[in-house]
Structure 1
Amino acid sequence: MEYASAVILSTASAQHKAVYPAPAKPLTAEYTIYSGSLGDEQAPTKNDRKLAVEITGKAAKEIFDSLYPDVQGVSCSDEKGEQLRRKGRIWCAYSPSGGYRFFLGFNLRTGESISGGSC
């Protein structure tokens, strides 16, 4: 009788597994902790520490596809087919030679969102 109860409880438990409609997914990223400004990064200091994150690959494409429409009249290169998308301080780029890239950044001393990349 105990065995039957355990099977019933186990089956009922399996049927109530949580289903997440927006599951976490892996990503490929690189980050830099720096001071100064983008394009002129210096070693981080006690009072000036910023974080720049660049996500690439499948995750960057999914973010790019979610961050429409394209920004018009702005480009980072002369490469034909380049697309840029931006909302506030986050932005994505696509180029046929470089693929999809997503940038975000934070000031680690204030918690403020800052740009995480530049052309």
Structure 2
Amino acid sequence: MKTRVVILMVTMLCSLVALAASKPWDGTFAPYTVHYLMYSGQLGDSQPPKRTERRLSFAIQGQLAKEMFDAIGPDLKLACGTTLGMRQRERGDVDCSYDKDEKDPYTCHFGIDLLKGKSMAGATC
């Protein structure tokens, strides 16, 4: 009897998780964890942010990065820094990669120059 109750509870929980994951679009913002770096200079040679120069680089991983990766395809033929098993996609200042050897295989980067209010690349190759 206890086994049946546990199986029923697990089944109900999985159903709720699946239902939440397939929630129809409702036009509201969704919470998400994002990694960022505020800096001055160039990404490859970044310095602490200054009053006269502030740039922001974002790194996104997980399901949102996968959705972004899928949306901006196709794969680049020759991509800087790619290795065997790695795929790279770029559109404007957004670049996404898929690396099958990583725990979170999808990662996307983009950046903003805060003082100019313009988008920019968020990663080096």
Q: What is the TM-score with the length of structure 2 in the denominator?
A: 0.73
Question: For the Cα contact (< 8 Å) 1:48–1:109, is it kept in 2?
Answer: yes
Question: For the Cα contact (< 8 Å) 1:63–1:102, is it kept in 2?
Answer: yes
Q: Which residue of 1 aligns with 2:58?
A: 53
Identity of aligned residues (%): 34
Matched residues in 2 for 1:81 and 1:88: separation?
Answer: 24
Q: Which residue of 1 aligns with 2:88?
A: 84
RMSD: 1.7
Question: For the Cα contact (< 8 Å) 1:27–1:58, is it kept in 2?
Answer: no
Select 1:101's aligned residue among 93, 103, 107: 107
Question: For the Cα contact (< 8 Å) 1:53–1:105, is it kept in 2?
Answer: yes
Which string of whole-angstrom CA distances, capped at 9 and with x for unpartnered residues, describes residues 39-80 of structure 1? 1110000101000000001110011111111111114132x2
Question: For the Cα contact (< 8 Å) 2:37–2:58, is it kept in 1?
Answer: yes
Select 2:117's aligned residue among 93, 111, 114: 111
Report the AA paired with residue 31 of structure 1: Y
Question: For the Cα contact (< 8 Å) 2:82–2:88, is it kept in 1?
Answer: no
Residue correspondences, number:
100
Mark the runs of 5 or more structure 2 residues left unpaired by the alignment. Answer: 1-23
Mark the runs of 5 or more structure 1 residues left unpaired by the alignment. Answer: 1-18
Which portions of structure 1, spanning 4 or more consecutive aligned residues, are displaced by more than 2 angstroms?
19-28
Larger radius of gyration: 1
Q: What is the TM-score with the length of structure 1 in the denominator?
A: 0.76
